[in-house]
Amino acid sequence: MTTQFDIDCRTLDEIAAAYGLGAVDAHEADAIERHLDGCAHPHADARELIAAASVVPMTLEPAIPSNGLRGRLMATIAETPQEHRVAALAPAPRAAVIEPMTMPRRPWWQLGSTPSAVAAVGLAAAVGLGAWGISLNGELAERDAALRAVASADAAYVAQGDAGRGWVIETGDRAIFMADGLADLATDQLYELWLMDADGNAVAVGTLTDTDGVAIVTLERDLDDAATFAVTVETERVEQPTTAPVLVAALDA
């Protein structure tokens, strides 16, 4: 068992310069960082000294690197994936199998949750964006928001049905719906997104009309108290669903 090493305010002020220069032991660095994170005292002088250490390289005359270094660097990064993209583009595990959807016999939004209908397979399945055809050299800039949301997701649920497949991704206190290649709509139709509680009460949380490429909609509510997510096709935004769902995800499975 190790004992956590702590320092007081005065000691921190004493060794801040050494810390800024990287000249303290690891346990002292840990203690300084914890202290600065949690201390009510501003430690303004210490923080200035720490920041001043970054000036030291500028006291040197610049040294011009050889002509080949830039080319070597650019060649390396062209083949080097970025950490956050590696996380977002990780392939889905084969264990994440989606169960076939069973359509309800009663009005679907009165059924409450349907955990057996569609499996919630968690983050690992949702980050399987490789299946969407996203490549490192493709449209990453436009899809960065989606990838970042996936990379930082707390939970993810697969929504599946006649319209295709999508994901509900929960990050902190917000949730987004993402889908790629949903079935096309007639010009007078839209997809309406719903959250239902366990008693079957449905609340509209957004609409979607553009089905080209990756669609991303931030839900108008968080997933708290929601048991089911669903998507219906409507001719306008409505207060309650008027058609059977074309996508469903169980959020409490």
Q: Note the residues at the interface with other proteins (CB under 8 A).
A: 10-11, 13-25, 29, 33, 36, 45, 47-66, 69-70, 72-74, 76-78, 80-85, 136, 140-141, 144, 151
Q: What's the closest the beta carbon of residue 10 comes to other proteins, in angstroms?
A: 7
CB 49 → other proteins: shortest distance, Å?
Answer: 5
Strand partners, 110: none
Taking the complex as a whole, how short is the minimal distance between the CB of residue 127 and other proteins, in angstroms? 15
As a whole number of angstroms, the distance between CA 217 and CA 17 comes to 48
Residue 25, classed as helix, strand or coil, is coil
Output DSSP code: residue 109.
G
Comparing CB distances to other proteins, the nearer of 56 and 183 is: 56
Q: Among 182, 184, 177, which Cα is nearest to 230's?
A: 177
Q: How far is the CB of 27 from other proteins (least distance, A)?
A: 10
Task: Give min distance, CB of 228 to other proteins, in A.
Answer: 33
Whichever of 23 and 39 has its CB closer to other proteins, that residue is 23
Based on the number of CB atoms within 10 Å of its own CB, is 7 exposed (0-12), middle (13-18) or buried (19 or more)?
Answer: middle
Q: Nearer to other proteins by C-beta: 78 or 95?
A: 78
Nearer to other proteins, 45 or 154 (CB): 45
Contact 237, 192 (CB under 8 A): yes
* Residue 89 beta carbon to other proteins: minimum distance, rounded to whole angstroms: 11
Our CB check for other proteins shows the closer of 38 and 57 to be 57
First-last CA distance in the chain: 38
Task: Tell the smallest beta-carbon distance from residue 41 to other proteins (Å).
Answer: 15
Asked if residues 219 and 205 have their Cβ atoms less than 8 Å apart, the reply is yes
Query: Would you mind telling me the total number of residues written for the chain in this entry?
Result: 253
Q: Judged by CB, which is closer to other proteins: 61, or 239?
A: 61
- Write the burial class of residue 189 (CB in 10 Å: 0-12 exposed, 13-18 middle, 19+ buried): middle
Closer to other proteins by Cβ: residue 47 or 237: 47
Residue 117 corresponds to which tokens in the numbers above?
């209908």
Q: What is the DSSP string of 157-171?
A: EEEEETTEEEEEEEE
Residue 205 CB neighbours (<10 A): 20
